[in-house]
Amino acid sequence: MSSMSDDELSRTVAQEAGKLLLALREDFFATRSAENIDKTVSDLLRDQADRAAHLFIMDKLSTARPNDAILSEEGKDNDDRLSAERVWIVDPLDGTWEYGQNRKDFAVHIALWHSGEQRLSAGTVDLPAQSLTRSVLDSDSNEQDVYTSERIIRVVASRSRPPKTLAATVARLSEILREEGIAHQSIEVVDVGSVGAKVNEILLGRADIYLHDTGFFEWDVAAPYVVAEHYGLVASHMNGEPVTFNHMPPYVTDLVVSRAALYPYVIQALRQSQDA
């Protein structure tokens, strides 16, 4: 049993797993020339790294918190966690495609779900290739909304699975903001890999909204969700309902993460574009 708090444990284990992922990738590419790295070879790296990070995190968490359940993307799931009061929700490598492409927009996600209180805690999104960790331990985390006539509002969406109504939502949001007298230059759509990396784009001031409606798993969402809320962003389903966790199957249908000042207009645009 570790003497670290849950928050400290989450951050420490995520950072150590991130270092492991970087070392594995560095060794992998050091022994291969670029022209010999095709999809099959990159998939080998992804599989090895996913498994290694999973085993590392499972060992650290189960040793430190032996009575807690763990839901990991790479683990074997069962119904036992449904009756557990505390469930760690883990993605050992979120953004596996980006990781295999030697890109920076991948992450390690670790968060803790409290079933009785229906809340998340101990959230960490580690972005090892960016030398950056986002955690509920971070201070000075209240985000600031600043909009001027030159302000470009950016919407982050999945590269491979953008929302079906993305174009309509962006168009309607632009109309709503003009109607409300919120000056901005334009709305742009950008794509980034990991869910954690997408939320981090908002925290870095390079984006304002994240939209996803084609579904993903709880390990994709849990840590970015609680970190986003810690930083003063608003996260929910696209209908405005809060996202809950530790379900069977562990599936999340959709997600919106937004700067607080924009959130009501985003929800309005989502509803009206879906009804159109």
Does residue 145 form part of some domain? Answer: no
Domain boundary among 73, 102, 135: 135
**Same domain for 130 and 237:** no
Does residue 144 form part of some domain? Answer: no
pLDDT, position 149: 45
pLDDT, position 148: 46
pLDDT, position 141: 65
**Same domain for 181 and 83:** no
pLDDT, position 182: 76
Count of beta carbons in the 10 Å neighbourhood of residue 115: 17
- Render pLDDT for 7-66 as a digit per residue (tens, 0 to 9): 999 999 999 999 999 999 999 888 776 556 667 778 889 999 999 999 999 999 999 999
Overall number of domains in the chain: 2
**Same domain for 171 and 100:** no
Residues 225 and 121: their CA atoms lie apart, in Å, by: 10
**Same domain for 100 and 52:** yes
Residues 198 and 16: their CA atoms lie apart, in Å, by: 21
pLDDT, position 270: 95
Residue stretches of the chain with pLDDT short of 50: 146-149
**Same domain for 195 and 85:** no
Residues 260 and 230: their CA atoms lie apart, in Å, by: 12
Assign 184 to helix, strand or coil: coil
CB 71 within 8 A of CB 43: no
For 4, 25, 28, 38, 73, the CA distances from 33, given in Å and listed in that order, are 42, 13, 10, 11, 31
Domain boundary among 104, 135, 166: 135
Q: Which domain holds residue 62?
A: 6-135
**Same domain for 171 and 201:** yes
**Same domain for 242 and 131:** no
Does residue 142 form part of some domain? Answer: no
**Same domain for 271 and 156:** yes
Could you tell me the CATH number of the domain that includes residue 225? 3.40.190.80
